[in-house]
Structure 1
Amino acid sequence: MRPTAWHSTDDLDEFLTRAGDFLHSRPDLHTVVLTVTESLRTRGLRAYGDEAPLFGLLEEDGSVRGACFRTPPHRLHVTPLTTARADSLAAHLTALGQAVPGVGAEAATAADFAEAWRRRTGATPVPHRRQRLYRLGTLTVPRPAPEGRARIAQEGDRELLARWYGEFSRDVGESESMRAESWADARLAHGGVTLWQAPDGTPLAMAGLTPLVAGQIRVAPVYTPAPLRGRGYAGAATAEVSRLARDRGADEVLLFTDLANPTSNGLYQRIGYRPVADFAVYDFQGQSSSRAQPPSARR
């Protein structure tokens, strides 16, 4: 049997040094880890919450075969793993006494980890969202284009961006991954939001971009206020940021969709996005806190 061991650390530099080659080997499947760790590197370890993040990597015969991270209070995120490796991660985290409120990963990995966590903690895995990861092929700009034009958001748009980010988070049933104002600041710092505006300059929709890391950029989020939907603004903004991502040097332009929304899935495929893999998100309910703590923590 090959020597296998999960190693956890709160040292971001150590994690990136040891896991970097592995993460860069599949920037599409590892896009969330790459973009979140880049944000932590540039914005600080408390970018997503008041507690320090935890990073994990799986080594077999001296090579990294898997990685994970958690930025409390948010869910655990895991790179694709075999069933046995997902089970070993659950064992590792329960031995550490780690609280895990949920998991997001490639669909099979998420299901395997959720089942392993159920067996070890008594938690009930509750499906939260099914997603599909897409990669841009040949970009096709929607025609006819809606009235207006695209422009990159500027400092004067900060309040609008923060408000729309909050509205987007509520629409998709998620808490804000970072404070709305901090998110706006981070995106403005690298020209990471494009607005589609009316001829009179009124913003109508936005599409965001993550920074370029390991040759990939991810489109996120795409948002149109409810009263303005169905008029082509989101598609026009998404096509514009997709072009911009390639102009900025991205070899892979990626985005996630909610599989429960056939409209957005159809739109992105018409623009030129093609499926890569399905992902899933689970929440854990009713787990026994004592079973998720080491003996020393229960004294």
Structure 2
Amino acid sequence: MTTAPAGRWRLTADPAEFLDRARAHLHAEPALNTVLLTVADTLRTRGPHAYGEGEPPPLFGCLDGDGAVRGAFLRTAPRRVAVSPRTADAPGALDALAGELAALVPGLPGVMSDHAAAEAFARAWQRHTGDAVAEDLRQRLYRLGALTPPVPAPPGAARVAAPGDRELLARWHRAFAADLGQPSLMDPYRWADARLAYGGVTLWELPDGTPVSMAGATVPVAGQIRVAPVYTPAEHRARGYAAAVTADVTRAALAAGAGEVLLFTDLANPTSNGLYRRLGYRPVRDYAQFTFTRAR
């Protein structure tokens, strides 16, 4: 049994139009909408193929009802749909969205949002399509409280990555996605080039100049910066390098004027969750990704 949606989904391929229409909805809780805000801003500034050439244009949508936007989503092919958490509060909204997308994107691979909205959309998708759905990643969103850098710091120092680090960044970006068991959202070299363009990756180097860890940061959007990704090769782990480079990137985000600094962790990794808590990050909400397997 479904509920009639409280509004109508309006779709567009224009990220600027989407951000303009959904601004009040997304900015009411910018931390919870950090992924939608940063992805839409990237597509607005870098063009519709920022996440890959040869793919269909991105798709955005707003649920208009009672004179206000009550829900939002975006999707960059061939990836999952990302849904704003508050969409689940509008009666029938996720069921109506699942029905529309089932007709438009029959091979949709999955959904990501906070756990409640992601699960609700996944169940609605299953009802409309008969596809199997499975949760395959649980994350926790953290917000910085008061930064507490590690003391003592490990040997070495932080430095902003330079063009000569491009190959290293691409390799580590690919390895980070492999550790999560998830495909990269962007071609690793395209990602490295985008981050190098604004100094968006910091490396921790040993005194001999060997890079041993990296932490990235998004551009400021809605007064916030998200630390992502943080990666240390297996042979250099458990030595404090990730904590040190994350603290440095966090400090730089605050110095750049960020009102909030955010990050996501994989809940299957207790080490990283403990690390970020020690640095002063506090949990906000759990998020999830569901994968859809087409019915035969």
TM bucket (normalised to shorter chain) is over 0.9
Does 1:99 pair with 2:107? yes
| 1:89 CA drift (Å) | 1.4
CA distance in 1 between counterparts of 2:192 and 2:45 reads: 14
Q: 1:62 aligns with which of 67, 72, 82?
A: 67
In terms of mean alpha carbon deviation, does 196-205 or 97-106 score higher? 97-106
User: 2:159 maps to which residue?
Assistant: 151
| 1:27 CA drift (Å) | 1.0
**Letter aligned with residue 211 of structure 1:** V
User: 2:240 maps to which residue?
Assistant: 232
When residues 17 and 112 of structure 1 are mapped into structure 2, their CA distance, relative to the original with a 3 A threshold, is same
Give the TM-score taking structure 1 as reference length. 0.93
| DSSP-derived class of the 1:72 partner | coil
Q: 1:14 aligns with which of 17, 28, 36?
A: 17
Residues 13-32 of structure 1: pairs in structure 2 closer than 5 A: 13-32=16-35
Contact 1:100/1:284 (<8 A) preserved:
yes
Residues 65-144 of structure 1: pairs in structure 2 closer than 5 A: 65-80=70-85, 81-82=87-88, 84-144=92-152
Q: 2:230 aligns with which of 202, 222, 225?
A: 222
| 1:21 CA drift (Å) | 2.2
Q: 1:5 aligns with which of 5, 8, 13?
A: 8
In terms of mean alpha carbon deviation, does 17-26 or 272-281 score higher? 17-26
Deviations 1:141-178 (A, max 9, x none): 01221000011111111111111111111111111111
| 1:215 CA drift (Å) | 0.3
| 1:105 CA drift (Å) | 0.5
CA distance in 2 between counterparts of 1:56 and 1:198 reads: 47
Ranges of 4+ aligned residues in structure 1 off by more than 6 Å: none
Instruction: Using the aligned pairs only, state the percent identity.
Output: 58
Contact 1:192/1:210 (<8 A) preserved:
yes
Give the TM-score taking structure 2 as reference length. 0.94
Contact 2:15/2:41 (<8 A) preserved:
no
**Letter aligned with residue 63 of structure 1:** A
**Letter aligned with residue 47 of structure 2:** G
CA distance in 2 between counterparts of 1:79 and 1:91 reads: 17
User: 2:250 maps to which residue?
Assistant: 242
In terms of mean alpha carbon deviation, does 142-151 or 11-20 score higher? 11-20
When residues 96 and 73 of structure 1 are mapped into structure 2, their CA distance, relative to the original with a 3 A threshold, is closer
Q: Aligned residues, how many?
A: 288
User: 2:196 maps to which residue?
Assistant: 188
When residues 97 and 239 of structure 1 are mapped into structure 2, their CA distance, relative to the original with a 3 A threshold, is closer
Residues 152-167 of structure 1: pairs in structure 2 closer than 5 A: 152-167=160-175
Q: 1:53 aligns with which of 52, 58, 69?
A: 58
CA distance in 1 between counterparts of 2:261 and 2:70 reads: 24
Does 1:203 pair with 2:211? yes
CA distance in 2 between counterparts of 1:95 and 1:205 reads: 44
| 1:17 CA drift (Å) | 1.5
Deviations 1:220-276 (A, max 9, x none): 000001111111100101111011111111111000001111110010000000011
User: 1:213 maps to which residue?
Assistant: 221
Does 1:33 pair with 2:25? no
| DSSP-derived class of the 1:142 partner | coil
Gaps of 5+ in 2: none
